[in-house]
Amino acid sequence: MSTPQLVVHRDKELMAQAAAARLITKIVDAQASRGSASVVLTGGRNGNGLLAALAAAPARDAIDWGRLDLWWGDERYLPEGDPERNHTQAREALLDAVPLDPKRVHAMPASDGPYGADVEAAAEAYAAELTRAAGPENHGSVPTFDVLMLGVGPDTHVASLFPELPAVRETERTVVGVHGAPKPPPTRVSLTLPAIRAAREVWLLAAGEDKAQAVAMALSGTGEIQAPAAGAYGRSRTLWLLDAAAAARLPRSLYPPASA
């Protein structure tokens, strides 16, 4: 378990731009050392804000887009192309503007796809896709993601893992169906904490004063069932990318020195 590292930026725009620059470098380095990179995207305003900042970044095309695997941490279980799907919003923010290899863009199933209303079957299918992509060196049922990004909800949820609900308690499966999510829409597909923790690096994105309580709670020792963000950590790095408003309720001892 990697100890959380915090970086606090002036505001959410700068946080998105700095996180985008950080992601470009991470992808370029992974591609230089291993020939490809694997990144898990998140939905929500901060996740999509990062993608939009990346689309506008001058260094954007230092990335070899044809050697990038994209996965999702969660998806709203809606028809393909629905404007509320995380995949739709990621396409609008970045994906449609760059020459990705479509075979390497792993969107989660849509509700008008082969599994219909059976969101558990959709989750099992995505878990199988992850296992197929996990090479022998991954010693697990998911590929070793270079970076897995997560927005943080005001209730400390990450992906579609909400406090106290069954999905956050899952310890075996890597992908589950979610019913009755408090954040609409109610039906979702989500990676579980075991899958999240297979990533080399987990980056948690939180901006705005509405996240300050969640950030303080998740970083103050609250358990992962009550605060799912507290259970989101990478094998070698856990990075919280915050703006000053979201960091406002942190004890000063947790503030990074540069922000003191």
Ligand X SMILES: O=C(O)[C@H](O)[C@@H](O)[C@H](O)[C@H](O)COP(=O)(O)O
Q: How many residues form the binding site for ligand X (CB under 6 A)? A: 16
6, 27, 74, 214: which one binds ligand X (CB under 6 A): 74
4, 109, 143, 151: which one binds ligand X (CB under 6 A): 151
153 near ligand X, rule: CB under 6 A = yes
Q: Considering beta carbons, is residue 31 or 229 the nearer one to ligand X?
A: 229
The whole-angstrom separation of Cα 57 and Cα 50 is 10
Contacts of 233 (CB under 8 A, 6+ apart): 1, 2, 4, 197, 202
89 near ligand X, rule: CB under 6 A = no
Q: Considering beta carbons, is residue 43 or 163 the nearer one to ligand X?
A: 43
Report the DSSP beta bridge partners of residue 40.
Answer: 71, 148
| Interface segment toward ligand X; rule CB under 6 A; list 8-16, 44-52, 54-62, 91-99 | 44-52
Kindly state the tokens that stand for 153: 């909800």
6, 12, 15, 46: which one binds ligand X (CB under 6 A): 46
Provide the H-helix boundaries in 134-207.
Answer: 193-196
The whole-angstrom separation of Cα 26 and Cα 4 is 18
37, 159, 191, 247: which one binds ligand X (CB under 6 A): 159
Give the DSSP H/E element, type plus range, for residue 7: strand 4-9
Nearest to 5 by CA among 219, 221, 154: 219
179 near ligand X, rule: CB under 6 A = no
| Interface segment toward ligand X; rule CB under 6 A; list 42-50, 111-119, 162-170, 237-245 | 42-50
Q: What is the number of other CB atoms lying within 10 angstroms of the CB of residue 82? A: 16
Residue numbers at the binding site for ligand X (CB under 6 A): 42-47, 74, 76, 86, 151-153, 157-159, 183
